[in-house]
Each structure stands twice: as C-alpha cells, then as structure tokens.
C-alpha cells in the first residue's frame, strides 16, 4: 500500500514536472475539493479561500522541482495550502485560536445531553433515550444517505469539515492530517470526533 502510493506519487510528480495536463487533472480530481476545504479553515470567506488555493498552486509549481518526497505528495500539497491560508488569514486579521475553530470541548457534546439521565436520577449520565437499531443497514448505501452525509459535512465548522474530509472521505491517516495542518494528535481527534458525531446524528435522523 505504502509503495503503491509512493509510485503513484512519483508518476504524478513526474507528470507535473513535465507540464502534462493529465497529471494536473488527476491531482485536481483527487485533492482539489480538499484543498479548498483546508483553505476555508483559516480565512473568512469562500472567495478568499479560492484565492488562497490559487496562490498555493503557484507555490506548488514553484516547489515541485525541488520536492524530494520526504513526505507524501498529498501531505506536502495540503501543507502548502494550509500555510498559504494561515499567512493570508493573518493578513485578513483573522488569526484563529484552535478553540474557535470549532474544536471546543464540553460545550459541544457528541450526543444531546437530554438523551442521558440527569444528576437527580439513580444512574446519572446513563442513556435515557438510547440509539435505536439502524437495521437494515443497507439503507446507508443509498444515494439519499450519501446526500445526508454530504449536506451535514457542508454545514460543519470549517476545521471539522476539513478534518473529516481528509480523514474519512479521502482516507488520510491521522499522522498525515496532523502534519499537513500542524495540529496536535489531540486537537485533530477532537475535531474528528465532533464531526463524526454530527454526521452520525444526521444519519440517525435519516434512518428513523
């Protein structure tokens, strides 16, 4: 798997260096939308995020000749986007602390607190309204379920959206996401957990 990825990377890098449009198209198909989502983590508007992607792309072209493959192509690519976006975010006077990236803690529980027994009960914190069965789970494969997930991901705060996109849609490892976005393991996990919990909640609604 690692070597397959590495040789695919190598072919893509060769293609980009040679100016082949097929390599460009492949790169955009794989990572274009993800790049935009990462940019949106750090800047206040979609329009600025699009500018960031363009600026980052010029950086990629400038750097591709010297890219040595110490990290994977995608990690390198997303790092450039994240760094470009951070610089631009500072210029836009919007340097964002992690807490306001939607990473918070107790203020944003995975499950509605009303679904657990209260402090006055015999078993506080235990389920009052436990999750119901999703049988038959085949419904999760329907086009409609995909739409529910996409819609929920679109509604997430930008940092949660970027992390769940990279981890669960694109299949990055946690290490790759932490490297690309300069997040600690813990922060990455909090963002991912919030995002997954909200997508589960949306599916629960749909599966009812």
Partner 1 sequence: MRLARELACNEVVELVTAYLEDALPAEDRERFEEHLVFCDGCDRYLEQMRATISATRNVPVGELPPELEERLLEAFRDWRPA
Q: Which residues bind partner 1 (CB under 8 A)?
A: 17-19, 21, 24, 28-36, 50, 53-54, 57-58, 61, 65, 109-111, 113, 116, 123-127, 130-131, 133-134, 137, 140-141, 145-146, 149-150, 153, 164-165, 168-171, 174, 185, 189, 192-193, 196-197, 199-200, 203-204
Q: Which is nearer to partner 1, 93 or 114 (CB)?
A: 114
How far is residue 73's CA from residue 126's CA, in Å, rounded to a whole number? 45
CB of 44 to partner 1, least distance (A): 18
CB of 190 to partner 1, least distance (A): 8
Q: Which is nearer to partner 1, 42 or 160 (CB)?
A: 160
CB of 183 to partner 1, least distance (A): 13
CB of 22 to partner 1, least distance (A): 11
Q: Which is nearer to partner 1, 98 or 116 (CB)?
A: 116
CA 23 remoteness from chain centre: 23
Q: Which is nearer to partner 1, 62 or 95 (CB)?
A: 62
CB of 182 to partner 1, least distance (A): 19
């Amino acid at each position: 798997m690692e070597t397959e990825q590495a040789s695919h990377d190598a072919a893509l890098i060769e293609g980009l260096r040679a100016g082949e449009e097929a390599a460009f198209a492949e790169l955009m198909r794989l990572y274009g939308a993800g790049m935009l989502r990462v940019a949106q983590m750090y800047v206040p508007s979609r329009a600025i995020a699009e500018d960031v992607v363009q600026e980052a792309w010029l950086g990629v072209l400038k750097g591709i000749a010297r890219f040595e493959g110490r990290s994977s192509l995608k990690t390198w690519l997303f790092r450039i986007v994240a760094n470009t976006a951070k610089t631009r975010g500072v210029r836009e006077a919007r340097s964002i602390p992690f807490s306001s990236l939607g990473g918070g803690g107790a203020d944003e529980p995975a499950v509605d607190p009303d679904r657990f027994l209260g402090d006055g009960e015999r078993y506080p914190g235990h389920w009052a309204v436990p999750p119901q069965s999703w049988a038959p789970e085949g419904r999760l494969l329907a086009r409609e379920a995909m739409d529910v997930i996409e819609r929920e991901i679109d509604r997430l705060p930008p940092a949660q959206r970027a992390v769940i996109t990279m981890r669960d849609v694109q299949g990055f490892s946690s290490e790759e996401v932490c490297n690309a976005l300069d997040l600690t393991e813990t922060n990455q996990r909090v963002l991912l957990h919030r995002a997954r919990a909200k997508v589960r909640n949306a599916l629960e609604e749909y599966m009812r």
